[in-house]
Chains A and B, each alone.
Chain A
Amino acid sequence: MRNVIALAAALSVLNGCYVSKKKDDRPWAAEIVARIEVGKTTKADVLRLLGPPKQIIRLLESEAYMYIAPVEKNSGLVLLVLNLSRSDRQYDAVTVIINRQDVVTAVGSRFSADEAEYGPPWD
């Protein structure tokens, strides 16, 4: 009987529990980004390696190709009148600066999308 009560109690608690993951675009392997060399790699090479960018920004003497792939993890628990929720959004991102001669002049990358976590709100 106790087990049934415990199971019913657990079920009623878990009834309001959720986790979700939202992922944008495809991520790029770090090895692929490492192939981009400042002063050598061309715009065509960048497009071939990474595909079309999410955003192109015109700068003073160059343009920036912005590649962004966010991951958002949401988790929550609803216990009758108590709602606990947390969202964590982290990014894989690459920015490539290409000059007017279509050659890469700078590149920066970050791979932290995997660090998005589920957890309690205060984490």
Chain B
Amino acid sequence: MNRIGAALLAAALPLLGGCLSFSLEGSRDNLPRALLQIHKLEAGRTTLREALEKLGPPDVLLRVHELDRLYYVSWDSLHFKFSISAPIPIPGRSASTDAFILGVGSEEFRLARLEFDRKGILRYIQTGDFSSTTHGEYFAIDNRIVETFLEDRARALGMLPQDDDDDDLDAPPKK
């Protein structure tokens, strides 16, 4: 009986291949090397030239009001997903449904933001390590730095107009 069961299971596995799926996905973007050098910089003293020499080229660079803003980022993630998909029997159409059963994972996002004044002197440094939960929420006490980064990156890529920042021209720089 056991043999028959094992044979049936072995025969069924290839058939399930198309609709049952366990996936483990790892992803890495950039090394955090520059972020490890941040402690060598000093607000009010370090120049843009020194920062580039010590940290290398930034990942995002843009002008925001009266400051030049630089970002250094690195990303590392690992996700496990278990999902089932099944065909939907609609006559004359090809359709399927996906049932997402389980998803767990971890993400580590490291970011540093440097802001330089018109004279090229470092005015602000902000760094953060952000780990995400399985629900995709950041464990940061204040995640505005991540939100600002995402907005700035979109702006640097030309996805948002530069004028967006004009709304808060009088506001102090975001921290």
Contacts and interface: CB of A to CB of B under 8 A. Distances in A.
Contacts of B57: 66-68, 93-95, 108-110
Contact count band on B: 35 or more
B34 A110 contact: yes
A109 B21 CA distance: 42
Nearest to B118: A60
A78 B93 CA distance: 28
B61 A66 contact: yes
Contacts of B49: 38, 97, 105-106
B48 to A, nearest CB: 5
Interface stretch (A1-9, A40-48, A83-91): A83-91
Interface residues of A, number: 39
Contacts of A81: 13, 16-17, 20-22
B95 to A, nearest CB: 22
A59 B65 CA distance: 10
Given A60-B66, A80-B17, A91 B22 contact: no
Interface of B: 13-14, 16-17, 20-31, 33-34, 47-49, 51-53, 55-58, 61-63, 66-68, 78, 117-120, 156
